[in-house]
A and B are shown apart, each in its own frame.
Chain A
């Protein structure tokens, strides 16, 4: 009877997760969705803590104290974090989830009395929960370091491909060896965790900072899988952990695939690290760059009918999303239609740019996705590119030798005029020339994104 009630309550939690995720499909119902998922989690945790349990000692002090501490730390950091710092925050939280699965797997191994060994399938699932949890833990910490800038891409480990392959084979071999042994060797269990933790570091370190949207999605998916495995290994399978974990795994996988597609690269290519090309491809267009001034650009914008702003990573770095919105308002007041075109990999995690613009009060109705934006460019008078580079590079369409050839881009050249706000003529993440800057329709406005935009705003008010 008690068992049935707890099972039903767990089922309600699972429905909470699912319903919550479903409600996330529209910005209007999304807040409610988050609350459903939260309620699901709350019910699950309460049931796990207080439902009667056979052979239990409860040890409530060991549960309540870390829980209160964790809640305070989690809540406080969530309230404090800046929206630009969201990717590293999510990455760090993700790593903690992985670490929890790792601890569960370890305890599960340690529970076996000396000189016995669990069933081989049990060792297999426990090992994988431990390996995947550990990898996602240290991997996320490295991703966190890369995203907040404390770990530069120039920090490289020797022979990453060889080391990673060796570690992977070593871990699989070790797991197989553990499965074949008559008694469980704890030294090897700890060696397994240690190697996995190292693998997480060597796995993420070679991946470039610009590929972080892919990496965070992948790590997110791994944490989900680790949680699902951790649910499988206990004596009584915890379905809430299995289903919850799989949902996270699915969402991470979908986002990973989407991000890879948006860059036209395979996951393997991203993992091996860096763009294959070394910038040798020669642009078909050469010549001089046309520079413009804030006042000329302002006049151009003010007398346009339709303007599309293409924000990129540079806008996020310069924290210029608020000024961008002010320009949008000023132009709208003049009767100009202003929209934003957002490339899927703009920003540093999936959908990051949308959040930054939402923070600056930009209405999500004005945000265009890649395909819709490309449909609207031909009827657009002026495109303003702010801190974006590779995602508007026509070489992806024109130059078969370009390393980014085939990547879906925002085809800004379909518009009448293009104003590019850029710090200098330097290349983007892919390290290649951008022929757009030499285009006949293109005018460059050099300077820091934020100060250029403020000058533009001033000139729009004056003009």
Chain B
């Protein structure tokens, strides 16, 4: 109970986000499922923000944290840039056949 009370705002956001996500994504047609997945995949790289904040707040001599954080940034950036680029490439193919 106490947990719910102290995190009420967060719980609201979680519930609303889940509904919003289902609603928005449920409307995507089958034709676009692969770009949807790769685009969503790129968005999942949003965890890069967590890694950036961690590094900024780490003491400059804490090499273990810095290395782990930098590894996180490297992998997440590949995910983001690659994901968006590949989605764009696919969507361009759909676009050019508009007759």
Interface residues of A (CB under 8 A from B): 17-18, 20-22, 24-28, 30-31, 33-35, 37-38, 41, 44-45, 48-49, 53, 55-59, 62-63, 65-67, 69-71, 73-75, 77-79, 81, 83, 86, 89-90, 93-94, 96-97, 99-101, 103-104, 106-108, 110-111, 121, 216-217, 220, 223-224, 226-227, 230-232, 234, 237-255, 258, 342, 344, 349-352, 354-355, 358-359, 361-365, 367, 369
Contacts and interface: CB of A to CB of B under 8 A. Distances in A.
A104 B36 contact: no
B51 A104 contact: yes
Interface in B1-33: 3, 10, 13-14, 17-18, 20-22, 24-33
Given A63-B56, A70-B77, A247-B43, A22 B24 contact: yes
B56 A243 contact: no
Contacts of A217: 37
A66 B70 contact: yes
Interface in B39-64: 39-60, 64
A28 B49 contact: no
Contacts, number: 355
Q: Size class of B's contact patch?
A: 35 or more
Contacts of B92: 31
Contacts of A359: 93
B52 to A, nearest CB: 4
Nearest to A81: B86
B31 A367 contact: yes
A13 to B, nearest CB: 8
A89 to B, nearest CB: 6
Which DSSP category, helix, strand, loop or mixed, fits chain B's interface? helix
Interface of B: 3, 10, 13-14, 17-18, 20-22, 24-60, 64-66, 68-99
A86 B10 contact: no
Contact of B90 (A44, A355, A363): A355
A88 to B, nearest CB: 12
27 contacts: A25-B32, A27-B31, A30-B95, A31-B88, A34-B88, A41-B43, A45-B48, A63-B70, A65-B70, A66-B77, A70-B77, A70-B81, A89-B86, A90-B41, A97-B41, A99-B75, A103-B69, A104-B47, A104-B51, A242-B14, A243-B13, A245-B46, A246-B21, A251-B21, A252-B37, A350-B34, A355-B35
